[in-house]
Amino acid sequence: MSRDIVSFDLQLPAEEPLSLDREPSNQAHRPEKREGEDGPKMPPREVREPPSLRPEREDSPRAYLLRSRSFLLRQSELLSMTELGKFRVVAAADLARFAYGSDNARMERDVRRLKGQGLVSDQTRAISGRRILRVLTLTRTGKRLLQNTRRVPEDQQLYHGMVRPREAEHDAELYRLFQTEAARIETAGGKPLRVVLDYELMRNLNRDRAKLEKQGSDPQEIDRLAGRHGLVAVNGKIPLPDMRIEYQTAEMELSRVDLELTTPHYGPRGVAEKAKAGFSLYSHREDAPRLRRILDGQGLTAWIRSL
C-alpha cells in the first residue's frame, strides 16, 4: 500500500532511540532500464539459500536471561526472532520457506515454544477477498530479550507488535521483497548487511527536520535534508521507500538500494514520484502492465520487477 510522502507532519509510535553510527556510501540505487533494453541480465536465484541451521536433534536450547527470568532458546528459534524483529511482521508461510528451507513442521514447533514463553505473537487476520493471513510478530518481551542476547548488530533496528493492522498483508510482503532483492545482490557477489524500514527513515527525517525550525520549509533545506539521508526531494517533498537494504558489493564497497512495493492503490502521481525518487519498483505480476502504462504516459523509465 502506498505510503504518504513525508511533508514532516507525520509521526510514528515512539521506539527506542536509533543509532546512525554507520553511514552507507553515497552510491544510491537509481532506476534501471527495463529488461531487454540494455542487453541480457544475469538472472538472480529465485529463492535464496536458507540459513545454515543445525540439525534439529543437535539444536539444544540454551538459557538466556532477561532481568530475573530465564528463557530457553534454540539456534533456530533465535533466527526466527531475529527475522521477526527486523521486519516487524512476517507471514508464517514465508518464515517457514525462507528461514527453515520449507521445513514447516520444525517452524511450527519453534513458534509453539516461542509463544509458550511469551516471546512471539501469532495472529490470523482477514485480508482482501475474504482471505486470511497468518502473521507472526515479536512481543515486547521478545524484542527486549533479543536485544539482550547481542546477536543482532546495534545499528539494526528491531520492532515488536503490529502498528498498522489494516496493512498487515502489505507489511508482511516486505519480508518476501527483501528475499527477492537479496538474491539479486548475492547473485552479483554482494552481501546484505542491514534492513531499514520506512518507520526508521521517517523517524530520522522528522528528528532532523525539527532541528531546522523555520528553515524546514525552504526547498533548498529540504533538498539538503533528503540528501543527508540518501533520498531525493520530489516537488518539495521527500518520498520514502518501503524498505532500504544496505549491502556490501563484490568490490567490498558499501552501497544501498531503496525498494517500493507498488500496489493497485497507487495513482499516477504516486507512481511517478516513487520513480523520480530513484526507487527500485516491485509489483505483483498482474499489476505490472498498469504501472508500466502510467510510467510510459509520463515519459518515465523504471524497471518494475515482479514479486
Per-residue three-class SS string for 207-256? HHHHHHHHHHHCHHHHHHHHHHCCCCCECCEECCCCEEEEEECCCCCEEE
Question: Which residues, 6 or more positions from 227, have their beta carbon under 8 angstroms from its beta carbon?
Answer: none
Instruction: Assess if residue 27 is contained within a domain.
Output: no
- 111 and 180 part of one domain: no
Q: How far apart are CA 128 and CA 157, in angstroms?
A: 30
Q: Is 136 left (phi over 0), alpha (psi -120 to 50) or beta?
A: beta
Task: Answer whether residue 211 is part of any domain.
Answer: yes
**Is 231 domain-assigned?**
yes
Asked if residue 142 and residue 73 are part of one domain, the reply reads yes
**One domain, residues 204 and 267:** yes
- Structural domain containing residue 113: 63-163
Residues 150 and 216 grouped into a single domain? no
Which of 131, 163, 195 is where one domain is finished? 163
Total tally of structural domains belonging to the chain: 2
In this prediction the pTM is 0.83
- CA–CA separation, 46 and 195 (whole Å): 20
What residues have CB less than 8 Å from 247, skipping those under 6 apart? Answer: 185, 190, 191, 192, 193, 254, 255, 256, 257
Say if 52 falls within a structural domain.
Answer: no
Based on the fold, state whether residues 299 and 180 are members of the same structural domain.
yes
Q: What is residue 278's three-state secondary structure?
A: coil
Q: In terms of domains, do 178 and 275 share one?
A: yes
Distance CA 142, CA 122 (A): 13
In the three-class reduction of DSSP (H, G, I as helix; E, B as strand; rest coil), residue 282 is classed as strand
Residues 222 and 158 reside in one and the same domain: no
Q: How far is the C-alpha of 87 from the C-alpha of 168, rounded, in Å?
A: 12
Evaluate whether 216 touches 8 at the Cβ level (below 8 Å): yes
- Examine the domain organization and report whether 144 and 211 are in the same domain: no
Buried b (16+ CB within 10 A) or exposed e, 236-265: ebbbbbbbbbbbbeeeeebbbbbbbbbbee
Whether residue 30 lies inside any domain: the answer is no
Identify whether residues 174 and 300 lie together within a single domain.
Answer: yes
Tens of each residue's pLDDT in the chain, 307 residues: 445 444 433 333 344 333 333 333 344 444 344 333 333 344 444 568 778 899 999 999 999 999 999 999 999 999 999 999 999 999 999 999 999 999 999 999 999 999 999 999 999 998 877 889 999 999 999 999 999 999 999 999 999 998 888 889 999 999 999 999 999 999 999 999 999 999 999 999 999 988 887 776 788 999 999 999 999 999 999 999 999 999 999 999 999 999 999 988 888 888 899 999 999 999 998 988 888 888 888 888 777 888 8
Name the nearest CA neighbour of 136 among 195, 80, 176: 80
Are residues 174 and 299 part of one domain?
yes
How far is residue 62 CA from its own chain's centroid? 29
Does residue 71 fall inside a structural domain?
yes
- What does the alpha-carbon distance between residue 262 and residue 265 come to, in Å, rounded to a whole number? 8
Evaluate whether 272 touches 295 at the Cβ level (below 8 Å). yes
* One domain for residues 250 and 151: no
State phi, psi for 56 to the nearest 5 degrees: -55, -35
Comparing CA positions, the residue from 249, 146, 243, 251 lying closest to residue 192 is 249
